[in-house]
Amino acid sequence: MGYDAALFTESDDSSIVRTALKEGRIVLTRDSGVVRRRVATTGRLQVLLLRSDSVWKQLSQVVTNFSLNPTHRSFSLCLECNHLLEGRSKEEVVGLVPPYVLSTQWEFSRCPSCGRIYWKGTHWDAMRSRLQELEVV
């Protein structure tokens, strides 16, 4: 959705808390133990306990809780490495995207970190529609 996010792969709650505090992150979790930690109960670390196992229900809860606009900045960050995408011309992506994509698309973005190329194809349209369903009224 264009908001800076990181996936914690550590299984140790203490590592997650340390990293979140160091990086100034909000922890989104299904682990009620993290919510009960002193660092969370005192407000030093902001934690949101996700109520559902469904990713879309979790996303809806996050959007509602933080009053986010799910389509305002959507698709502006790389899905792989979280860097801000940069616009690229059609000429700049020749040989980097499939020929059909090159012949049917006019707008492209590239991640300056990992080099991944993005365009507004059918998947983009489908995801945008799903995100619009989450918009806070």
pLDDT tens, 14-40? 999 999 999 999 999 999 999 999 999
- Decide if 137 is inside a domain: no
- Decide if 75 is inside a domain: no
Residue 137 pLDDT: 42
Under the banding of pLDDT at 50, 70 and 90, the label for residue 135 is low
Residues 56 and 22 grouped into a single domain? yes
- Decide if 2 is inside a domain: no
How many domains, the chain?
A: 2
- Decide if 38 is inside a domain: yes
- Decide if 73 is inside a domain: no
Residue 62 pLDDT: 93
Strands 108-110 and 86-88: antiparallel
**Full residue range of the structural domain in which residue 26 is found:** 13-65
Residues 58 and 91 grouped into a single domain? no
- Decide if 81 is inside a domain: no
Residue 10 pLDDT: 79
pLDDT tens, 66-115? 988 877 777 899 988 899 999 999 999 999 999 999 999 999 999 999 99
Residues 97 and 53 grouped into a single domain? no
- Decide if 1 is inside a domain: no
Residues 21 and 60 grouped into a single domain? yes
Residue 101 DSSP SS3: helix
- pTM (predicted TM-score): 0.74
Residue 89: partners with Cβ closer than 8 Å, 6 or more residues away: 108
Residues 92 and 61 grouped into a single domain? no
Residues 92 and 58 grouped into a single domain? no
- Decide if 78 is inside a domain: no
Residues 60 and 91 grouped into a single domain? no
Q: Give the number of other CB atoms < 10 A from CB of residue 23.
A: 9
